[in-house]
Structure 1
Amino acid sequence: MSFYTVVKTAAGLVFRLIYRIEVHGKENIPTDGKLVLCSNHIHNFDPIILSIVFPRQIFWMAKKQIFENKILSYLFKNLGAFPVDREESDLSAIKNSLKVLKKEGVLGIFPEGTRVKEFNLKNAKPGISLISIKAHSMVLPVYIEGDYRIFSKIKVYFGKPIDFSKYYNGKLSTDEYRLLSQEILQSIYSNKYKEEGKIGDNHS
């Protein structure tokens, strides 16, 4: 049994006692192949919750400050996480992302870059779509809902995978990548709100 499986199992036991985790859209999860999992970000526990409910190992792109603590650095690195500098273009993080996807792995990213409370398309980072397109990878939008109060319900909504294959052989500008990243972000929030009419199905 791998270190990841041991930690995931232990975390699952603990977090399912603390929270009532509810998962929607399991049928939308690809069972194999490279994948970029993109989620909104509301709490530090988000990657743990997603790793618990997702059937495959997720290799998370995490803020570099986490790795400044030697114990946390050891733990996260052994779980497959790697650092990213959110303040500037981090070529190392992009290379690590592409390595994960080249090995047909699952890359976990928060497109907004940090925890947010409200939906804003301008928060989408252009590097998200760039990585997906360069790696020829599908994108799985995920929405997490909850306030993380003890014993409260945490809902996870998996949307339908986004296919950017029509862009694989083209050359895109930074603005075009930003627009595609906004499409990803809109799809994430649409998982929860499209039935309420707050966000339409058409991407802008």
Structure 2
Amino acid sequence: MVYYIARGIARLLLLVLNLKKEGLGKLPPNGPVIVAANHVSNWDPVIVGTALSRPVHFMAKVELFNNVFLGKLLTALHAFPVRRGAADRRAIRQALDLLAEGEVVGIFPEGARQKVKPDIQVHGGVALLALKSGAKVVPMACIGTDKNFPSGWFRPLIIRMGDPIILDEYRNQKISSALLEEISMRIMQEINSLLDK
């Protein structure tokens, strides 16, 4: 209930700010999906969650849940905690459970708010979840969210979705750090290509 009320309010705000949506019809209408987007602003999860027709369950840094009120709000908004900088088995298990139920899980492969650069360190979480769950990975680009809010947002604000990435060719391979890195870089290249259009 809270999720849908918050999404409705955010949609009104983004309507005023003239958010341009491109390619959102590429989101599979059902089944497990991992949405992987660039992350340059705190507004990115709001925009991704608001723009998509299906509810999105975002991984959010565990520190945000230390505040009781904020933690309850984030949980009501379908977010769940993840410890950054280490393999968080509990967060991985929760994400896999959601995907097994046919839900959409949202992840920022960079792991923190920063501009996408060719040499950026990319975390292997998206690749690991995709291989273990069989979910499609849908790349997304948030463009213009790094501008100052709200005045900077009267310049173009765009959310752009790419074609789902199907990883069937990797399914029978043994999961290794090299394989996760290869898949992760492929995902980031797809996101970068959306930013370059």
The answer to whether the superposition gives a TM-score over 0.5 is yes
Where in structure 1 do 4 or more consecutive aligned residues deviate above 4 Å?
none
* 1:121 CA drift (Å): 4.7
* In structure 2, C-alpha distance between the alignment counterparts of 1:120 and 1:112, rounded to whole Å: 12
* More moved, 67-76 vs 8-17: 8-17
**Alignment correspondent of 2:77:** 79
What is the TM-score with the length of structure 2 in the denominator? 0.92
Aligned length: 192
In 2, Cα distance between the equivalents of 1:65 and 1:15?
27
Distance 1:54 1:189 in 2: 20
Q: Note the residue ranges of structure 1 that are not aligned, 5 or more in a row.
A: 196-204
| Aligned residues of 2:38 and 2:116 also touching (Cα < 8 A) | no
- Corresponding residue of 1:166: 169
1:54-75 deviation line (CA, Å, top 9, x unaligned): 0000000001111111111001
Q: Does 1:60 align with 2:63?
A: no
Provide the rounded CA distance (Å) in 2 between the counterparts of 1:166 and 1:117.
30
1:46 is matched with which residue: 44, 47, 60?
44
1:121–1:185 CA contact under 8 A, matched in 2: no
Once the two structures are TM-superposed, the CA of residue 48 in structure 1 deviates from its matched residue by: 0.4
| Structure 1 position 131 matched with structure 2 position 129 | yes
Q: Does 1:12 align with 2:11?
A: yes
Secondary structure at the residue paired with 2:157?
A: strand
Structure 2: how far apart are the matches of 1:122 and 1:175?
Answer: 16
Aligned counterparts of 1:49 and 1:13: Cα–Cα separation in 2: 12
Structure 1's 122 and 192: CA in aligned 2 closer, same or farther, altered over 3 A?
Answer: closer
Q: CA deviation at 1:14?
A: 2.9
* 1:121–1:162 distance in 2 versus 1, CA, 3 Å: farther
- Give the TM-score taking structure 1 as reference length: 0.89
2:178 equivalent in structure 1: 175
Give the Å deviation of 1:172: 2.2
Structure 2: where are the runs of 5+ without partners?
A: none
